[in-house]
Amino acid sequence: MELQILSGERSRSRSSFKVRGLISALTACLCDVGARQDTDVERGTLAVSLALVTLCQNIIDKMLSIMAGVAGQEACPSFAEIGEALENILLEGSGDYTEGTALSSEYQYMLSWCWNNIKESCTSLGEITQKLVTRTTELPPSFIPSIKSTFLAVLTKCRHKGVIEGCRGAFVTFCSALFSSSDESVYSIPAGILREVLLSLKQKSILSSVTRRSAGLPIIVQAIIVSEKQTKKNILLCEALLGLFDLCKLPLDIDPGVTDLPQVHGINMLNTLFSEASLSGSLIGHTGHVTIMVVRLFGSPSWAVRNAATRLFSTLVTKLFGQKKSQENKLCNSVTYKEFSAYYPELPPFLLEVLKEASERDLQNICTIHPCLFPVLTLLSSLNPMDSQDGNLKEEMDVYRNLIKRFTASPVYQLRHLVAQALVAMVTREDMKSSLMSCLEVSISYSVNDVNVNSIHGDLLFVQKVLEYIASATSVHAVWQELVGKAWLLNSTNGIVSGLYLQILTTLLKCLQDVDVPAHLVEAVSKICLQDKKIIGDSVVCQAGVHFLLAASVHSGKSTCTLIGQLMSADNLETRKACLQFLCDSLDELDIDDPYEIIVS
């Protein structure tokens, strides 16, 4: 079998032997025999085990060589280079094979054959190592170093996610076996691998594609740390984090064409570590410091660094606040500012510092927005409001609130959403009504000469988000009365503002039973929906207008048939689309005997 696999007759070996099946069977037999407490049997199987290890290493080397083609094995070949190498082999080995634009079944079979052989051979190496290290005292000096080199070759020269993940499990088994050894020279090998990888990245001597999220480099670090944790130790975890911090802080290469940056590899490795569930408890104490570092990296001039930082930041947000299970349940996995400050005391001063720096820039110029502002507001907007005011935090939260308010009129739409949610987090539940009424009475006020549309939109977003936490009917009624008196918002030249105003009114109307909808308000909304006037955000205001008119009709106890007929025959295309969508979504709830008659008419 070995001769046939390693010979040039690759087509015959693929059709005659299921290599991975035989490797798996041999490994299972040797592990079963090795489990027996018989010295003679163990001694007899040692030679066979060493031979199997050599065979697996030769198979892996051959598979890597086949896929590397002319690129050689010193670099990590791209998928295009792998495809070219396999196509050349198929063209040489089969006279009737023709290269086409679509992937042939022969090509896919050979690619799968190579990947699966590598994956199964790695699994065999891990299991054989575990048995021999724990049961055999006399091993050849080159045994473990050679297997180590094989694992590193696979993890640094493969791009296939399935192979890398398959090799990960085998590498964890390999490292766990080394950590279980009483021999200090064997026990220290994983630490040596970790230091070697970090040093190689600093010296830029490892060639691995950043397009595959650093290929298998993060897996090497993750496997070593996970294996060490099984021994109830975290020495290498601290060492790895310090090394990765230093790696991420390295100055960027002056050549803008360099994309395979060590900083990106460092960020990807941190992302892999923080994504590992078994390390969550050990990493809690480091989460705040990593968050500060990754937020600063949003200001990097390198797109690759910013892209990697975005992925790591997403992982950290989940670690900081937990996975949201339900949008409706605001208390699910919630963290208040008080709890946040207690868990991560280093973060609040940093967030405040960034807000101060960002507020000193030109807030109306998109090009000068602080690069760290979005991630900082994302963190603050993920907090939940406190039930009552904490005397020790009152002054600090007031500073936060005043700084965040400065960004309410930002020209960036998504930023205004984050600002509104962050402001809600800085208001206690007992102060929400007063803050809401203050916003309606002071911030959202009519001005003939100076109307800042962005500012009004930001304030309305705050009102909308605060209402999600107000359950008192009396408070909701007061908000309704205040908003009804601001019908001038319907005259805005920006449909996004008018639409948001109507969305809030519709939400309030569904919560109240004893209020009257002013006729002039219904008339104004009907005029907007029926006339064919093009404005910014036309679709938003028309959709909100349709929902408001239908809600007002239901609230007053009137039939919606006539209203829907009018809306479906409106000149405004957006109104007709919004009405039709409403019918499709909630047709069963309407008192219509035959809705098709309305559509046809």
Spatial CB neighbours of 204, under 8 Å, sequence gap ≥ 6:
262
Spatial separation of the C-alpha atoms in residues 130 and 31, rounded to whole Å: 9
Which of 168, 187, 206 lies at the terminal end of a domain, its last residue?
187
Q: Is residue 260 part of a domain?
A: no
Average pLDDT over residues 524-539: 86
Q: What is the pLDDT of residues 283-313, one digit of tens each?
A: 999 999 999 999 999 999 999 899 999 999 9
Q: Is residue 463 part of a domain?
A: no
Q: Is residue 160 part of a domain?
A: yes
Spatial separation of the C-alpha atoms in residues 476 and 388, rounded to whole Å: 20
Spatial CB neighbours of 563, under 8 Å, sequence gap ≥ 6:
549, 550, 553
Residues 530, 573: contact at Cβ < 8 Å? Answer: no
Residue 509 has pLDDT above 80, yes or no: yes
Domain count, the chain: 2
The dihedral over CA atoms of 153, 159, 163, 169, expressed in degrees to the nearest 10, equals 60
| 390 CB burial (10 A radius; 0-12, 13-18, 19+) | middle
pLDDT value, residue 354? 97
| 336 CB burial (10 A radius; 0-12, 13-18, 19+) | middle
Residue 336 per-residue DSSP state: B
Q: 253: pLDDT confidence band, cut at 50, 70 and 90?
A: confident
Of the ranges 226-235, 266-275, 589-598, the best mean pLDDT one: 266-275
Which of 159, 187, 215 lies at the terminal end of a domain, its last residue?
187
Q: Is residue 579 part of a domain?
A: yes
Residues 225, 243: contact at Cβ < 8 Å? Answer: no
Q: Is residue 530 part of a domain?
A: yes
Closest CA to 6 of 58, 56, 52, 49: 58
List b or e across 24-47, with b for residues whose CB sees 16 or more CB atoms inside 10 angstroms.
Answer: bebbeebbebbeeeeeeebeebbe
pLDDT value, residue 62? 85
Output the pTM of the full model. Answer: 0.84
Sign of CA dihedral 44, 46, 50, 56: positive
Closest CA to 122 of 57, 75, 180: 57
pLDDT value, residue 22? 84
Q: Is residue 593 part of a domain?
A: yes
Q: State which residues form the domain around 561.
A: 471-601
Q: 248: pLDDT confidence band, cut at 50, 70 and 90?
A: very high
Q: Is residue 52 part of a domain?
A: yes
Spatial separation of the C-alpha atoms in residues 109 and 111, rounded to whole Å: 6
Residue 598 has pLDDT above 50, yes or no: no
Average pLDDT over residues 575-584: 86
pLDDT value, residue 8? 43
Q: What is the pLDDT of residues 68-92, one digit of tens each?
A: 765 555 556 665 666 666 666 666 6
- Residue 128 amino acid letter: I
Residue 329 has pLDDT above 60, yes or no: no
Q: Is residue 420 part of a domain?
A: no
Per cent of the chain over pLDDT 70 is 81
Residues 20, 11: contact at Cβ < 8 Å? Answer: no
Which of 187, 206, 233 lies at the terminal end of a domain, its last residue?
187
Closest CA to 543 of 580, 588, 511, 515: 580
CA of 90: how far to CAs of 13, 17, 66, 132, 377, in Å? 14, 18, 11, 39, 55
Average pLDDT over residues 334-363: 94
- Which one is predicted more confidently, 520 or 586? 520
| 359 CB burial (10 A radius; 0-12, 13-18, 19+) | middle
